[in-house]
Amino acid sequence: HRALADNLVIFFRDQHITPEQHLAFGRKFGELHIHPAAPHEGDDPALMKIYADKDSPRANGEGWHSDVSCDLEPPMGSILHIRQCPPRGGDTLFASMYAAYESLSERMKTYLAGLTAIHDGESTYRGLYANYGVADRPSYPHAEHPVVRTHPVTGKKALYVNRGFTRHIVGIPRDESEAVLAYLYQHAENPLFQCRFRWTENAIAFWDNRCTQHRAMWDYWPHTRAGTRVTVKGERPV
Tell me the catalytic residues.
65, 67, 214, 229
The CB density around residue 91, as the number of other CB atoms within 10 Å, is: 14
* The residue type at 71: D
Cα four-point dihedral sign 127, 129, 134, 138: negative
Torsional class of 107: left (φ above 0), alpha (ψ -120 to 50), beta (otherwise): alpha
* The residue type at 219: D
